[in-house]
Chains A and B, each alone.
Chain A
């Protein structure tokens, strides 16, 4: 850091302050504090010294104290770049990137040519995607330091990110013209410049300048080290420039270098006018198939070619190719065979043929140990078992669950030691809704092989879904770090998203919203960590010139929260926060349980156990606060049951914060829009609510939720209207928009009756109409509304309609609806649904569940039996 401008200090103090800056840079913190103190003795109001002392204290771990010093420093010398810089550094370390950028900008105002400062500003603005200041600073740095290569490239990247491709291209061209004698450069420089050229070419491609791109590619061929990238770009540009013959040769060359890359074949066929992303004509398919067969002769071992042939072949040709594909893999015992070709099941004909083939193998193998009667190979016994395994998955996929279970039962009786069979059985049972039996099947698989982490996680996952959380965590602990406080803590540290999601769902199902939200927040924190992970790369990648990978990483970060795991979890968390908002008693019940004695004892016992465990851990930690693995000891969990989370004063604001990153999502998630609406309505953000409705309508104009939610919004806005007569412009616009959903002059009763009549065959829409009845007529008509829903349950509705069969999620919503409005009819509906979905655990009677539980306990006991001691015989 440069010396201070301060004139308050005497000569001696100025030199002391210089020393202080140096001590900070050298991380001599203790000496630094002493030096700062000796300045402050004479000049206790010297802001810059205070700030520096604060920074040093902060770095020494006294965060709050340090921050206090820095704040005082800022207040005392508002025009000093040093105090703002220091403040910015600390804000950045606290992950408050936007505040940090503001402080840095403030610092820059008082010292506009401080290079270290500018660099930090650049990093922060990239991190926050504020490209305008980024471009300005980068161009300034380039102007002042044109001799540094990295300034040129960094400026180009900034312009590229800001969308100024033409300017970025100009800078890169200018830069490249300064490079001479690259052939004799050292290897690291060669590699770096190779990346620069490829980056340059990628901007040309992005701008659609394919001719220029290929010219530069050819011109710079000797300077480009990444030969695969060169060849791929070359082939791509030739294709885009419509030079089919040359392009075909280029793709062929790539195929020769790596016959297992699917994209190369797709590129190759594009030059022949066959676009795999489109629906292909029969003629295209057969000509592509012929060419692929030629490729296969050349590369007989290439799995990609064999698999592509299955995509293209039809009818008898498909049968022949599929026969070969299946039999070779069954003989080999490839467990992933079904998953590999599952995509073909979108085609009914292929699905049929695959099933026929496998059934044929089964019959013939039982008879003669051959796949077909004309086959000359006698198969090993395992071929039979892999055939059954395939068939079981086949039937499960085409929803013939009973048949799938039959097949897998035969297989298990034949070979009871193959874990895959139990997994297939478990999956089918899960699809039937019989989670407890599914869990049992998967647990048997796990017991077969204790060192298989996959089986361990699978079994734990099924257990969690079955509500056996504690037992699941115990099983997971076989593979987690022994020094971790609990297996759950370790899995959250390891960013095991599946675990956080499953536990959140299981806790939520039990009504333990504290724990559920705790897990979901751990998941959100993980996404935050992933977002922050990019910070160091803004500096590192530009220094190392790995620009192409860097830019794809930035794209990934930009779309991070589009990930299904985030979207699903956000919906779940927001829904839970709404429950807490709608019924604050829930929070009271969870955090202050008036437990009966038994539960109390149980809790006490557990607390005692936890305490003992913690004490043992403390012991294991040793003196330096590190655990047995030499890792720093984990911070104590201050909110072990998530009570702090659910005690929030503003559950709706929390929900809104979680949903905020999804306001402009590209994902077509109707359930997201439903939740967005409910949160917006409760926060009286009518414009947001209307936007959510429009998004829902774009996806499904007849959606039952849309029907109810439109009505809710209308009622809310009408109530508002009565309150304040005039209504501002926005409200007026909203009322108008509302008229496209519910006509202004509509009689709500007949509007709803109309909807019900139109959609009387559709369970979720009928449910929507039923909810609307209650909204229109009030709770007094709950009986009518429930009657309508019960009719769906009785099947009088969808018996006529195969296109909208009742599914389990809708049936579950029906149960909730009836439970809410007329609890005495729940049992009636449950019986109806139980006959409809006999395997679904949630529709079973207490007695059925108890019997099931008993059977499972008996089987567990049998597996761990200790009956006859052979030695005592």
Chain B
């Protein structure tokens, strides 16, 4: 009989201080580099609940980064370092943002103006067509394929690898 020692899993907000960690994670896991603008955006307070680092026994090993577009939540990044996959970290992060998306929206404060955030009706993202694992993962979590975009990943080389599916889920 083997006992599996379960790790401690925590989420932490993306801040000015740990942005370097996010950069490094993305640099290692993702095929495309992101611009500095993205790294600024993910630190904005209104996205705090949707941009998180995941810690596995106190070591940051993955992240989720979303933005809000026209009442929809768009997942830009949901990634975990290869050795730490299949341990429920992705699901943990996904559950967190889904829960946050249906909870009472935090008002957006810009200077003196307080503007209530619109209620989100769905969540969606692009997935590389060849990425079977990811597609399977999202389907298992209630997402379905909405569209097929040709040449979405312009920077990638290789025939099929540039195409993407759009997956989405109603909230």
A529 to chain B, nearest CB (A): 33
A376 CB contacts on chain B under 8 angstroms: 1-3
Is A682 interfacial (CB-CB < 8 Å)? Answer: no
Q: B16 near A418 (CB under 8 angstroms)?
A: no
Q: B23 near A867 (CB under 8 angstroms)?
A: no
- Segment at the interface with A among B81-89, B93-101, B114-122, B136-144: B81-89
A448 CB contacts on chain B under 8 angstroms: 18, 20-21, 24
Q: Bound state CA distance, A873 and B35, in angstroms?
A: 11
Q: Mark B97-114, 1 if CB is under 8 A from A, else 0.
A: 000000000000000000
- Segment at the interface with B among A79-87, A347-355, A380-388, A846-854: A380-388
B87: nearest residue on chain A (CB-CB)? Answer: A381
A866 CB contacts on chain B under 8 angstroms: 35-36
Is B76 interfacial (CB-CB < 8 Å)? Answer: yes
Q: A449 near B18 (CB under 8 angstroms)?
A: yes
B157 CB contacts on chain A under 8 angstroms: none
Q: Mark B151-168, 1 if CB is under 8 A from A, else 0.
A: 010110000000000000
Q: A382 near B59 (CB under 8 angstroms)?
A: yes
A418 CB contacts on chain B under 8 angstroms: 59
- Which residues from 33 to 54 on chain B have a C-beta closer than 8 Å to any C-beta of chain A? 33-38
B76 CB contacts on chain A under 8 angstroms: 870
- Segment at the interface with B among A144-152, A276-284, A409-417: A409-417
Q: A873 near B154 (CB under 8 angstroms)?
A: yes
B153: nearest residue on chain A (CB-CB)? Answer: A873
Q: A377 near B2 (CB under 8 angstroms)?
A: yes
Q: A417-B25, A450-B17, A867-B35 are in contact. Are A385 and B1 (CB under 8 A)?
A: no
Q: B20 near A450 (CB under 8 angstroms)?
A: yes
B23 to chain A, nearest CB (A): 7
Is A333 interfacial (CB-CB < 8 Å)? Answer: yes
Is A480 interfacial (CB-CB < 8 Å)? Answer: no
Is B130 interfacial (CB-CB < 8 Å)? Answer: no
Q: How large is the interface on A (under 10, 10 to 19, 20 to 34, 35 or more residues)?
A: 20 to 34
Q: A382-B59, A417-B24 are in contact. Are A870 and B35 (CB under 8 A)?
A: yes
Q: Bound state CA distance, A384 and B155, in angstroms?
A: 35
A863 CB contacts on chain B under 8 angstroms: 23, 27
Q: B35 near A380 (CB under 8 angstroms)?
A: no
A822 to chain B, nearest CB (A): 49
Q: Bound state CA distance, A444 and B16, in angstroms?
A: 16
Q: Bound state CA distance, A865 and B155, in angstroms?
A: 15
Q: B17 near A449 (CB under 8 angstroms)?
A: yes
Q: A376-B2, A414-B83, A866-B35 are in contact. Are A450 and B7 (CB under 8 A)?
A: no
A375: nearest residue on chain B (CB-CB)? Answer: B2
B155: nearest residue on chain A (CB-CB)? Answer: A868
B152 CB contacts on chain A under 8 angstroms: 873
Q: Bound state CA distance, A414 and B16, in angstroms?
A: 25
Is A639 interfacial (CB-CB < 8 Å)? Answer: no
B59 CB contacts on chain A under 8 angstroms: 333, 382, 385, 415, 417-418
Query: Which of A447, A450, A451, A870 meets B38, CB within 8 Å?
Result: A870
B27 CB contacts on chain A under 8 angstroms: 863
A360 to chain B, nearest CB (A): 18
A563 CB contacts on chain B under 8 angstroms: none
Q: Bound state CA distance, A379 and B4, in angstroms?
A: 7
B36 CB contacts on chain A under 8 angstroms: 866
B90 CB contacts on chain A under 8 angstroms: none
Q: B5 near A378 (CB under 8 angstroms)?
A: yes
Is A331 interfacial (CB-CB < 8 Å)? Answer: yes
B153 to chain A, nearest CB (A): 8
Is B61 interfacial (CB-CB < 8 Å)? Answer: yes
Q: Bound state CA distance, A863 and B38, in angstroms?
A: 15
A417: nearest residue on chain B (CB-CB)? Answer: B60
A869: nearest residue on chain B (CB-CB)? Answer: B35
Q: Bound state CA distance, A416 and B29, in angstroms?
A: 10
Q: B33 near A417 (CB under 8 angstroms)?
A: no
Q: Bound state CA distance, A863 and B3, in angstroms?
A: 40
A873 CB contacts on chain B under 8 angstroms: 152, 154
Q: Mark A362-382, 1 if CB is under 8 A from B, else 0.
A: 000000001000001111111
B104 to chain A, nearest CB (A): 28
- Which residues from 294 to 333 on chain A have a C-beta closer than 8 Å to any C-beta of chain B? 331, 333
Q: Mark B58-78, 1 if CB is under 8 A from A, else 0.
A: 111100000000000000100
Q: B17 near A451 (CB under 8 angstroms)?
A: yes
Q: A377-B3, A378-B2, A865-B33 are in contact. Are A333 and B20 (CB under 8 A)?
A: no
Is A722 interfacial (CB-CB < 8 Å)? Answer: no
A451 to chain B, nearest CB (A): 4
Which of B7, B76, B152 counts the most A-chain CB atoms under 10 A from its CB? B7
Is B134 interfacial (CB-CB < 8 Å)? Answer: no
Q: A382 near B155 (CB under 8 angstroms)?
A: no
Is A871 interfacial (CB-CB < 8 Å)? Answer: yes
A447: nearest residue on chain B (CB-CB)? Answer: B20
Q: Bound state CA distance, A370 and B23, in angstroms?
A: 31
Q: A382 near B20 (CB under 8 angstroms)?
A: no
Q: Bound state CA distance, A376 and B5, in angstroms?
A: 10
B7 to chain A, nearest CB (A): 4
Q: Bound state CA distance, A385 and B57, in angstroms?
A: 11
A444: nearest residue on chain B (CB-CB)? Answer: B24
A863: nearest residue on chain B (CB-CB)? Answer: B23
Q: B16 near A871 (CB under 8 angstroms)?
A: no
Q: A871 near B17 (CB under 8 angstroms)?
A: no
Q: B1 near A868 (CB under 8 angstroms)?
A: no
A418: nearest residue on chain B (CB-CB)? Answer: B59
B125 to chain A, nearest CB (A): 12
- Which residues from 787 to 809 on chain A have a C-beta closer than 8 Å to any C-beta of chain B? none
Which of A384, A415, A418 counts the most B-chain CB atoms under 10 A from its CB? A415
Q: B18 near A381 (CB under 8 angstroms)?
A: no
Q: B61 near A333 (CB under 8 angstroms)?
A: no
A368: nearest residue on chain B (CB-CB)? Answer: B2
Query: Which of B1, B3, B5, B81 meets A415, CB within 8 Å?
Result: B81
Q: Bound state CA distance, A448 and B15, in angstroms?
A: 11
Q: A377-B5, A417-B25 are in contact. Are A333 and B17 (CB under 8 A)?
A: no
B171 CB contacts on chain A under 8 angstroms: none
A421 to chain B, nearest CB (A): 10
Q: Bound state CA distance, A871 and B65, in angstroms?
A: 13
Q: A417-B60, A417-B61 are in contact. Are A380 and B33 (CB under 8 A)?
A: no
Could you jot down 8 A-B contacts, CB within 8 Å? A376-B3, A381-B84, A417-B59, A418-B59, A448-B21, A449-B17, A863-B27, A868-B34
Given contacts A417-B61, A450-B20, list 18 more A-B pairs with CB under 8 A.
A331-B5, A333-B59, A378-B5, A381-B7, A381-B56, A381-B87, A382-B57, A414-B81, A415-B61, A416-B25, A444-B24, A446-B20, A449-B18, A449-B21, A865-B33, A866-B36, A868-B155, A869-B38
Q: Shortest 6 CB-CB distances between A and B: which pairs?
A: A447-B20, A869-B35, A450-B17, A451-B17, A380-B7, A382-B57
